[in-house]
Structure 1
Amino acid sequence: MLRVALTGPESTGKTTLSRLLAEQYQTTWAPEYARAYLEARGPNYGLADLETIAQGQLAAEEAAAAQAHRVVFYDTDLLVIKIWSEHAFGHCPEWILRRIEQRRYDLVLLLDVDLPWEPDPLREHPTHRQHFYNLYHTELSSQVSNFAEISGPPARRFEQACYLVDELLAGENRAGPATSR
């Protein structure tokens, strides 16, 4: 099973692109757990909430992977929780950092901030998106992750993502069945 995570700052189209990719490849995707959690409990949160959200995100990823066909898409990842936690609380719980180190994706798509900001009661930082984008880029580079930057209007983002996923799937076909990840 190939695992593709979409990451990046708020309001960059992660949810829409995740859903479209899952439709394109006739597979599953894991929605961002934080959205459902905060919609149910309100926009105020503490560090304990972020830990609960991280656990929920991991469970959502596993549930989507269990139903997927060849590839699964994740609308966000624990890197989002890490950056969010460090910004809001000055640090990230150690167990989340360990899970980030252990959890590898076959591809991470880092979505650029070149789409217009869409207001939403759960979004917090319309003027800090470039700052956060730079943090994501630095983190992914330091992890030596297989990541690609996705930018442009929605149709172009979808084309870029499909090209990268097609390449990933073609590489798996040449290499044979994937080993356990």
Structure 2
Amino acid sequence: MNISTGCPTTTFYVTIPAIDTGSNQPPGGAAGKLSGRIKRLKLKQQIKHNQMMSVQKKRTRDIAAKHRVVLTGSECTGKTQIAQTLAAHFACPFSAEAARLYLDRQSMALTAQDIEPIACEQIAQEDAAVDRASELTIHDTDLLSTVIYARHYYQHCPDWIVDTAHSRARGLYLLCDIDLPWLSDGLLRDRGLGGQRAQVHSLFVAMLNQTGQHWMYIRGIGPAREQYAIAAVANYLAKGSITPSHDIDSP
């Protein structure tokens, strides 16, 4: 039996041998067939996870060879605008937020079934930016955001997404603070959750700390917010790394 596994951009074809569901199965053909299908499903899931992680190890090496800046944080905090400003200022590629691109094509509310397609597109967007870069890439969110929102809205995120997010996470994270007014942006977040931004924001802080990322706050209104982000990235490039400075307020 041939099974296609992995993201659409990275597909593997593997042959799974038939599993003997005879002597060890409960009496009755239907029960035996059901048990066999369950075994095959578990094997398929394990192969998918292993193949994905194998590919991501290589991509991790590619990403590590270049400077990486990720705009992250809760909804409606200016991430996209800052990402575009940074890309223009430093003349480097940037990757768009996959959830936004995905929703623009779907034109409907997101569900739990959309998490894996969004994760695959997020990986593809980031990798395409890395492939075009000579030194620096800017990312409008990354897979850590996918993990946070999947857990927040659906109480679950597939293991392969969590593992891949952790293996790819590196560089400088600019955590956009929630000091901007709430505006509906059309994503799943549009459930009257403006008042929950503080809760979601705390999830981002916890994730960055738990995974040991280098990060700092981005605060301020208008051009001041963008200039602070530019200064943070310039400092990151000059030093080649950055000491975690999340306790530093922006001017």
Deviation at 1:52, TM superposition (A): 0.5
Which shows bigger deviation, 106-115 or 118-127? Answer: 118-127
Aligned 8 A contact 2:130 2:137 in 1:
yes
SS where residue 119 of structure 1 aligns?
coil
TM-score by length of 1: 0.90
Deviation at 1:172, TM superposition (A): 2.8
Matching residue of 1:69: 134
Matching residue of 1:179: none
Within 5 Å, give how 1:131-146 maps onto structure 2: 131-146=199-214
The answer for unaligned runs of 5 or more in structure 2 is 1-65, 242-251
Output the CA distance in 1 between the equivalents of 2:207 and 2:185.
Answer: 26
Deviation at 1:164, TM superposition (A): 1.5
Identity score, percent: 35
Larger RCO (CA under 8 A, 6+ residues apart): 1
Deviation at 1:126, TM superposition (A): 1.4
Matching residue of 2:185: 120
SS where residue 127 of structure 1 aligns?
helix
Output the CA distance in 2 between the equivalents of 1:14 and 1:70.
Answer: 21
**1:119-176 CA distance string (max 9 Å, x none):** 2322422121111111100110111100111111132221221111111111139xxx
**Which among 106, 109, 114 is matched to residue 171 of structure 2?**
106
- Structure 2 counterpart of 1:160, which letter? Y
Cα RMSD between the aligned structures? Answer: 1.4
Displaced runs of 4 or more, over 4 A: none
SS where residue 240 of structure 2 aligns?
helix
Asked if 1:32 corresponds to 2:100, the answer is: no
Matching residue of 2:236: 168
Deviation at 1:80, TM superposition (A): 1.3
Within 5 Å, give how 1:55-66 maps onto structure 2: 55-66=120-131
Aligned 8 A contact 1:54 1:78 in 2:
yes
Aligned 8 A contact 1:43 1:121 in 2:
no
The answer for unaligned runs of 5 or more in structure 1 is 174-181
Deviation at 1:99, TM superposition (A): 0.9
TM-score by length of 2: 0.66
